[in-house]
Structure 1
Amino acid sequence: MTAGIEPSTTPIESDDAERYMLRDPREIVRVLQALIDNRALISAHLVPGGRPCPTALLEVDGDEVLIDGNRDETLNLRVLASDYLVCVSQLDRVRVQFRLQHLRRVDGDGPVAFAAPLPESVLQLQRRELYRLELVPGPVVTVQVQLQAVPTDAPPLPVRVLDISGGGLALGLTDEDQAPFTQGRQFDTCTLELPDGGGPMRVRLQVAHISQRQELARYPVRAGCRFVGLSPLAERRILQFIFQVERQRKARERRAV
């Protein structure tokens, strides 16, 4: 680690991130070894608190990894006192993030290093995969949500989409509509309607969290949802819609200058 260099990346905590996790130890070793082979810089974030600092992976050996230490002994002590490190890097423009726990110091003839068990998971994604497109104000996107698990004659609930990404979306709810949207509940019969001319899409949604959004008087409740089992074709169409809207927005901004 080298003190005094500002990190260029910060950890991602998102409802969408789980679907991009690698959990197979062989895949985890492959990604970490690629970081070593490419001499990738890693931004290590100490938890709890603490200023993040650059480091690098030195070795992946079986069930253990070795990372570089620091010339500043105070920083080395802070690393040992931390609960864990959140390590963020990039590999061929793809973000890589993982957590190292139970670090122990390794002193030898060379510089200080730290050993830790192989991480249980590695997040690997491109920035676009977690990019959320704000839709209010903007194009009107709606979801028809069938609230009943068993098919009934009850009509689905039409809900405005506040933002959307390749991994999920946020629904704008009124106080009256909020009750069925409890954290963890899954809706298996939903119809997503994008204004792209491609027709409605059947999707499954799981509620990740509920929050109050008083800045939107019409939709005071926000329900963040994940897509469940989204097909590659549907994901590609959603991403194409996001990129199209972004291109249109940038074109308008250029004309306004």
Structure 2
Amino acid sequence: MQTIINPDSPREEELSPFKVHSRREILALLRSLEQQRQLITLTVNGSAEAVITSVVGVDEDTGTLYIDCATDPAMNRRVTESENLSFETVLDRIRIMFFAGEAKQCTYGEHPALAVPIPEFIIRLQRREHYRVPTPITNPVRCTIPIQHELGTETVTLILQNVSGGGIALVDEKKSLDPTFGTVYRDCKIHLPGNTVVVTALQVRNCQDITLPTGKSVRRIGCLFIELPPAMLSAIQRYITKLEREQNAKRAGMMT
């Protein structure tokens, strides 16, 4: 099976030190994903087509990993017909990736599911620059982006899905942006809490049309910061630290 990495991911030769081959560790990671009900992005054939899923079971004896199937039967067919499936998520602030060469529709716990082989290795990226922090769903962070047209400039406002020291992911429900790899948008403004505005250029690095568990389709666009001034980077890093503290407090039961 050929492994396809998203354009904003590290190069394949950089991933080798982060590969986990121990069967025991792989099973432990997969079971942690199941226990924490962590949402996973499943990408088909390295394309812009993806679906949100989660681990529902791990069978060590048969070497099978069971995941939620999509609500759209057509998407399930594309998944089962694919020979290249990529999975990506975050577990305990560590980016996790693994791959599969096949998937079969089945029933698990009396519910429809997909069965894939337990991966031979899992990539566990612990470097901070690759760690993406999810942004709040309530009171979301917004980013305004000027779009140049023949008749003038239009400004669109998109919601952040996550943020890292290297870039952001945006939810483009109306598909307003040109998702072509390498497209640069200048003078973008990220409106952080506390009336902090980060002004930066953004370069499109990847695009995925994601089917949510509700069946709704949204477009996720991953962008890289371009020529981000040090003061702006410091503001981003302070915001990431704030998010981490809040999320850690929630895990500890200190916040409602």
TM-score by length of 1: 0.47
Structure with more strand by fraction: 2
TM-score by length of 2: 0.48
